[in-house]
Amino acid sequence: MRVSRNSKLFIPRLERYYDNLSPISYPLIRFTAGIMFVPHGFNKLFSDLQGTTSFFSSVNLEPAYPLVIYIGCLEFFGGICLALGFLTRIFSLQFIGLLGVAIFHIHLKNGFVWVKGGIEYPLFWLLIMIAIFFKGGGRASIDYSLPKEF
């Protein structure tokens, strides 16, 4: 491949790699974001249902048990759907709500830094979910193959 002399890249020889790999960048982000939620949901539903319910009660998220079931299902099944790009906007919107509650109800009082329980980590994921909501499933998704997309 011939390298363009008019390339704006600092290293023009990388242009073909950028061009060839850029179509997978968004599906990679969407897939990773979805998959990152799955273990959280698995833990809530199948490993520590009682502990999570007790935590929700302790921070006044009531009714705790139904909320834990909903959030566990959202994280587990919704994470899988998000990763596959199925009903992407519906699930990303629910994750936006979940992360908003996590930020304002749980983490805000602890400041910004994540290692001190702050908003840094959930804020990052909230912004990713907002971007995914506006972008939708993209070409490499189940949504793209459906007749209509949400």
Model pLDDT for residues 130-140, shown as the tens digit of each residue: 999 999 999 99
Query: Measuring CA to CA, how many Å separate 18 from each of 6, 21, 25?
Result: 16, 5, 10
For residue 90, pLDDT beyond 80:
yes
For residue 99, pLDDT beyond 70:
yes
And the tokens for 40? 């959280």
For residue 149, pLDDT beyond 90:
no
Compute the distance between CA of residue 4 and CA of residue 44 in angstroms, rounded to an integer: 53
| 58-73 average pLDDT score | 97
Compute the distance between CA of residue 119 and CA of residue 108 in angstroms, rounded to an integer: 6
pLDDT class of 4 with cuts at 50, 70, 90: low
